Structure 1
Amino acid sequence: MAGLYINQHVLNNLFYILVTVFAFSFIYDHSPAIQRKPLYNRTLLCACLALASVLCMRFPIYIDPTCIHDFRQIPFLLGTLYGGGIVGAVFFAVLMLARTILYGFQSLTFVVYAIMFVVAAAASPLFRRLPRSGKLFASLWLTFLIAILTTFVAVIIADFSVTKPYIVYFIIMPPFVMMFAVYLMETLHEAQLARAELMKMEKMEIVSQLAASISHEIRNPLTVVKGFIQLLQTEPLPRETKERYIRIALEEVERAEGIIHDYLTFAKPAPKETEPIDVAVELRKVLQMIAPMAHMHSVDLSSSLEHGIVIGNVQYFQQCFLNLLKNSIEAMPNGGTLRVTVENQETSVVITISDNGIGMTKEQVRRFGEPYFSTKEKGTGLGAMVAVKIIEQMGGTWKVESTVQKGTTLTITLPARQLRLLSSQQSANS
């Protein structure tokens, strides 16, 4: 018996309804303008569900000499209940126009859907305030009662013949289809709200982690400065002792300033001023800047740099690799070798930074670049975090491979700008 009534045409009508509900959810989820403006939201809802109604009419479940049966009332009731009276009125006009174009005007159809519109529009304000379970229950019984009411009216005013297929397709099936459609609408909406809340919580967690890191790291040097200033206010001290206290206090102030600088670099938006950067030229400058620090830590610098052009901000590019090279040097407290290579490929420039320092565990590798995480005893993790952000702003990717007590290799891949293109432009200008 079920196979007799649940046929391909029924499944097609269900398919039209489900696809348009998913289409509405997808477009709504990816359009901030529609999310912000109720008018756009209602317009999209009306357009999607009206399409479902028209498709249901165009490809009905079956046709007999007196009536065409389909599920067009499901999207019509959905749109009116969720969108309100205005959406329902527009929907009603579109539905009647489509019905007239496809099969001609019929007064009975007009009366039936006018009753549906009035009942659904009146129920809409209460329906939208109900919880999910209440909406499911209300949609089931409201659809059933509307089917009974409109059938009763049709029998009275048009001597309508109620057949067994009519009872199945117009009275029994639609309430359950309607309940399923409402369930789908509510589930998709709840998923959107949950995702938005999750993104908000993730942002707040990052902010709280950064705030905790900054306050903790700045409090330490400020405490040191406060202590030495108090010592300078005590009994007369030898000049050498005063100078030592002042030097230590200044060093701590500079450390606090560096922490704030790294945080601001991470927080500020991406720079708008970008230009072609010769990776080999800029990395040579960075290696020259970092050479004194490498010498102090007994670290040998080795490089093999091919010319490659990328697009970015020169200042941020230098800062990114200063942070990364500084981290590599500090990972070799007993000295070692730091090697930097650049390989120019057709579509990318690959930069590799290798050291033979203390290395990292798998968990430390996984958390590389996270705020409030560092492998150093006095580190904040802000340097690596800033570097990772700059790489991502340039459209690049990064990969870390490390073994404890053997060393770390960081591979950075940046999108390349063809060098010969730049060279031909320079030749033309000259």
Structure 2
Amino acid sequence: MWESEEMTYINQHVLNNLFYILVSIFFFYFLYDHVRFFQQKKAHQHVLLIACLSVPLILCMKYPIYIAPDCVHDLRQVPFLIGTFYGGWAVSVPLLLILLVARFMMYGYEFITVAVYVMMCLCGSLFSLFFQQLTRKQRLVASAAMTFLLAIAATVLAVAISDFQVTESYVVDFILVPPVAMLFIVFIIETLREALFIRSKAIKLEKMEVVSQLAASISHEIRNPLTVVKGFMQLMKAKDISAETKEQYMNIALEELNRACMIIDDYLTFAKPFPEKIETLHVERELEKVIDMLRPFANMYGVQIVATLMPATMEGNAQYFRQCFLNIIKNGIEATTNGGKVYVDAHADGKTVTIVVRDEGEGMTKEQLARFGEPYFSTKEKGTGLGAMVSIRIIEMMNGTWRIQSEKGRGTTMTVSFSLLEK
């Protein structure tokens, strides 16, 4: 009965010490991941590491492990050695001072404590230079092995300078338990470091993939009109060509050059930052300007634009706002067959102004809908998909939200919402 109660009592205190250390490690990586200040310089990381590890260092001494009547132990050397291995001199020396001051304030001065932890600080800091060059698996083994060797060295030092008794409980709890605890803690640390590294690498790869896609798309889309221009310029060099034919070739070449300029403008709009000029926009007036610009284009396609615009105000950039809905309504017109309609509806509801553009076109499949806004994708034969991509970019830069619904043969509905500017 006594043995089972004693074993439960021991496990509780061991787990408490491990809990203090684990929470401090998780808290360190939480702050490191979310606060950019700690990512800027190595010195900032050292300060954070000292602050996080000093807490379990003190708590382990304040709430020790009662192993047996002749043995009161704690795991203070584990956070101390973790800081020493990963931070070197810059972390080990401040942690040593914190440990000694806290130890003397709680239990009084003992020379053996100073000697043991100064020895650990010196050896651990020198070992840190080698430790930080190891691989993940090597660090697990090296940390446990070094902790075990330092425990042996501390025991020899204690026996040499004082009348120190080495008992069986001391061997288990001062020499064998810390290396196991160190192995467990270092495994957690390396797993967290690896997770952060993989995530950072994935973000960089994703950015590089976007850049490569844009570069490939630019070269592909610009090459086509330039090839056309080059061909007609070569044809115009012929001596027997008539003036009428030469003018026709010239017009086609100019159209292709204008098309190339539009593609470049779309890419620049997508890439450049949102302008600082923010103004009050009257949504109905801006949409009326866009619709007036597109009416001749709609008449050419035999499409009617039906607008229902309620007064509403918002903050944004007028030029970008008009360009966004110019692309969206133009796409609706091009998707609608002769005799169809494109509906533009704007209304204010609560704190939101909502703009809905609905066409009676052929619509999109679920697969096409999932690719909406990609630079390569377009349902039009000569489309680049840049118009939709730029529109989405502008909506997001103006802190708006968008939703698209479409069904094959039933048309497409684009719903865009912005924050309403209350008078």
Please indicate the TM-score interval, normalised by the length of the shorter structure.
over 0.9
On the 8 A contact 1:206/1:371 being kept in 2, the answer is no
CA distance in 2, matches of 1:45, 1:110: 22
User: How large is the Cα RMSD of the aligned pairs?
Assistant: 1.8
- Report the CA distance between 1:335 and its aligned residue: 4.1
Contact 1:33 1:40 in 2 (8 A): yes
SS at match of 1:266: helix
| Matched AA of 1:361 | T
* Alpha-carbon offset, residue 116 of structure 1: 1.4
- In structure 1, stretches of 5+ residues that fail to align are 422-430
Partner of 1:267: 271
C-alpha distance in 1 between matches for 2:264 and 2:145: 62
Task: Map residues 7-406 of structure 1 onto 2, 5 A cutoff.
Answer: 7-62=11-66, 68-406=72-410
Amino acid aligned to 2:343: R
Letter in 2 for 1:320: C
Do the aligned partners of residues 307 and 78 (structure 1) sit closer, same or farther apart at CA in structure 2, a change above 3 Å counting?
Answer: same
Per-residue displacement from partner, 1:311-331 (whole Å, max 9, x unpaired)? 211110111110111111111
More displaced 10-residue stretch of structure 1: 60-69 or 260-269:
60-69
The alpha carbon displacement at 1:41 in A equals 1.3
Distance of 1:71 and 1:277 partners within structure 2: 64
Cα deviation for residue 354 of structure 1 reads: 0.7
2:143 maps to a residue whose letter is S
Which TM-score applies when normalising by structure 2?
0.94
Residues of 2 paired with 1:409 and 1:164: CA distance?
Answer: 78
8 Å CA contact retained: 1:69, 1:169: yes
How many angstroms apart in 2 are the aligned matches of 1:56 and 1:363? Answer: 58
State the shift of 1:93 in Å. Answer: 0.6
Q: Is the 8 A contact 1:351 1:412 kept in 2?
A: yes
2: CA distance, partners of 1:214 / 1:108: 72
Q: Deviations over 1:252-297 (max 9, x none)?
A: 0100000000000111011111122121221111111111111111
Q: Matched residue pairs, number?
A: 419
1:387-424 CA distances to partner (integer Å, 9 max, x unpaired)? Answer: 10111111111111110121111111212221xx2xxx
Distance in 1 (CA, whole Å) between partners of 2:67 and 2:282 is 72
Question: Deviation at 1:104?
Answer: 2.2
Identity %: 52
- Tell me by how many angstroms 1:309 deviates: 2.1
Structure 1 residue 67: deviation in Å? 6.2
Q: In 1, distance between residues paired with 2:9 and 2:138? A: 29
Shift of 1:149: 1.8
Hey, what's the Cα distance between the residues in 1 that align with 2:357 and 2:88?
61
Normalising by structure 1, what TM-score?
Answer: 0.93
Q: Which SS does the other structure have where 1:399 is aligned?
A: strand
